[in-house]
């Protein structure tokens, strides 16, 4: 019995790598283009206006949304999480900036302010937009 004709490979299938690379480069292009046009990934906060506001650099910024939710960076935190963060020695030396929405409750702002004072933070400031 001759099975050699059944064991031969068919030459009809070829794996072409160039179209696959074209697709990968197009996807990479669209991802990079999307990254360029992404808006700020932070929390949208409507800041109150003040005549005496100053520019600030990136420090410990606690964001309080209009729903009184606390954010540190882009992470939702609780007062306990914030307390644990402020207990570290390098964070005690850095100022804490409170960026609160104008509709946030004053009590929540005072809670964060009081927590910073209890943890020994030297400077606690409130961020506002400068009035034109």
pLDDT tens per residue across span 27-76: 999 888 887 776 555 556 666 666 665 554 455 788 888 898 998 877 88
Q: How far apart are CA 110 and CA 129, in angstroms?
A: 20
26, pLDDT greater than 90: yes
Task: Report domain extents, the chain.
Answer: 49-130
What are the beta bridge partners of residue 102?
A: none
Q: How far apart are CA 62 and CA 59, in angstroms?
A: 9
| Run of H or E residues at 49 | strand 49-50
Would you say the pTM of this structure is higher than 0.85? no
Q: Which pLDDT score is estimated for 22?
A: 92
| CATH 1.10.10.10 is right for the domain spanning 49-130 | no
Q: Which pLDDT score is estimated for 27?
A: 94
123, pLDDT greater than 80: yes
């Amino acid at each position: 019995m001759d099975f050699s004709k059944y064991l031969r490979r068919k030459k009809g299938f070829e794996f072409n790598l160039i179209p696959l690379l074209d697709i990968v480069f197009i996807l990479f292009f669209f991802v990079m283009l999307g990254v360029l046009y992404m808006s700020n990934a932070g929390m949208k906060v409507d800041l109150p206006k003040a005549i005496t506001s100053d520019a600030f650099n990136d420090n410990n910024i606690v964001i309080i949304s209009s729903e009184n939710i606390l954010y540190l960076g882009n992470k939702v935190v609780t007062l306990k999480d914030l307390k644990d963060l402020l207990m570290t020695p390098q964070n005690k030396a850095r100022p804490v900036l409170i960026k609160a929405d104008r509709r946030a409750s004053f009590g929540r702002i005072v809670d964060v302010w009081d927590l910073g004072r209890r943890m020994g933070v030297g400077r606690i400031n409130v961020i506002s937009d400068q009035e034109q």
